[in-house]
Structure 1
Amino acid sequence: MAGMTGRRVVRLLAAAVGGAVVAGVVGGGAARLLMSLITIAAAEESTFTLGGTLGVLMVFAVLAAPAALTATAPAVVRVGGRWVTAALTGFGVASTGFSDGAAIILAPDSRMTLIAVLVVGFGAVVAAHGQIAQYASRRLAGDATRPAAAAPEPALA
């Protein structure tokens, strides 16, 4: 790999960690808000704790790692990283959501449309999760995403 210095590798890894944390906060925060809204829409009492919220943010940050680590790779690898992140996040969201399925099924009929809209919102969060991680990682990496350039050619006078 031409142009891969130790400093550049460290900068890319730091950007990937930062991108995963950003995606964890944004994606996890949106997911936690949607969880609360679904619980309220299902006519249940929302009893979320700070510890639980921090746990969700941390899990979303870890799940963003494949996308964040592939943020500066070629396009095929970037897309693969987003798919892996979406699959892992989607599985986690779906398996957690199905554990609360009884409350949703027993919700008043008048609230089912709202619950459906909120569930679609979860799908949007899952789809955007990897994209957010890659965007944040690339922004944090700055010039480290570009290969080292050759010396500039002298200008003709």
Structure 2
Amino acid sequence: MHDRRRLGRVIWAPLVAAALSGLVIGAVARLLMRGITLAIGGLTGFSLVSTLAIIVVFVVLAVPAAVTATARPVVRHAGRWVTAVVTGMLAAGTGLSDAKTILLADESRLTTIAVLIVAFAAAVVAHGLLAQHLTLRFRRLPAGDSTPAEALGTI
């Protein structure tokens, strides 16, 4: 019984952590993207499909960091940076499509745009760190006297 709980934590902790990290950082990234669009004077509006797609991408990209959270330090750091680099490259590729618009933006808005871009970069770096932190927290949750299935009365 104890081994099943431990195996469950090994499997579910990183998956739930990746989902939560992707949800939080994906939502923050979406808001920052919208802020940049507002700052450059672009059309605004949220598309539910686009928002969900961004969050799903952030969830998937959090997996390397989450699954390496309990590994040796070099592997743990590599997992975190794989998440940050891949997320950053995808974000940079997407952001470059707006490069002309950003360069042609009103000079009075450049400071705001720069602050939003730096905040976005910080969110990208925090993405893997949050996934690893949550994984470790979920792995350390106290074990109950029963499994979740037993608590619900299904066994």
TM-score by length of 1: 0.84
Aligned pairs for 1:7-156 (under 5 A) are: 7-142=5-140
Q: Deviations over 1:98-139 (max 9, x none)?
A: 012122122111101110110001110111000000011111
The 2-side partners of 1:120 and 1:47 are apart by 22
Amino acid at match of 1:132: L
Amino acid at match of 1:117: V
Question: Structure 1: which 4+ aligned runs deviate by more than 6 Å?
Answer: none
Bigger CA radius of gyration:
1
Q: Which moved more, 1:42-51 or 1:81-90?
A: 42-51
User: Pairwise CA RMSD of aligned residues?
Assistant: 1.7
Whose relative contact order is higher, 1 or 2, with alpha carbons under 8 Å and at least 6 apart? 1
The 2-side partners of 1:23 and 1:102 are apart by 31
Residue 73 to residue 6, structure 1, CA distance change in 2 (3 Å): farther
Unaligned runs of 5+ in 1: 145-157
Q: Which residue of structure 1 lines up, in the alignment, with residue 146 of structure 2?
A: none
- Measured after TM superposition, the shift of residue 25 of structure 1 is 0.9
- Measured after TM superposition, the shift of residue 6 of structure 1 is 5.1
Q: Which residue of structure 1 lines up, in the alignment, with residue 150 of structure 2?
A: none
3-state DSSP class of the match of 2:140? helix
TM-score by length of 2: 0.85
Percent same amino acid at aligned positions?
A: 49
Q: How many residues align?
A: 141
The 2-side partners of 1:60 and 1:109 are apart by 32
